[in-house]
Amino acid sequence: MPLAKLSSKSQIVLPAKIRRKLDLHPGDTLEILEQGESVLLRKAPRSFLQELEGCISDLWIGYGRELEEARDEWDR
């Protein structure tokens, strides 16, 4: 189990292996959840469309592209 030390400024560095696996980059937003005596960090979605695409239903897959195409048509 990887360990991280809390700095004097209350910051932590996530191990590189975990950053690569979760595709985390500088500037990405993380959700922080408190669960009893534990803290859970989770990569926050970059957009609501990204969150919808993560839903179980295949209905939303590719919807971002469709939405952008519809917006382009409206702007004409």
Domain range summary for the chain, segments of one domain joined by +:
10-44, 46-76
H or E stretch including 41? strand 38-43
Indicate the pTM of the whole model: 0.53
Identify whether the C-beta of residue 63 lies closer than 8 Å to the C-beta of residue 54: no
Cα–Cα distance, 43 to 8 (Å, whole number): 24
- Rounded Cα–Cα distance for residues 32 and 43 (Å): 9
Nearest Cα residue to 31 out of 19, 20, 40, 22: 40
* Predicted confidence (pLDDT) per residue in 35-45, tens digit: 999 999 988 87
Domain 10-44, CATH among 2.60.40, 2.10.260, 2.60.120, 2.30.29: 2.10.260
Residue 10: CA atoms inside 13 Å, Cβ hemisphere, count?
0
Residue 34 has what pLDDT? Answer: 94
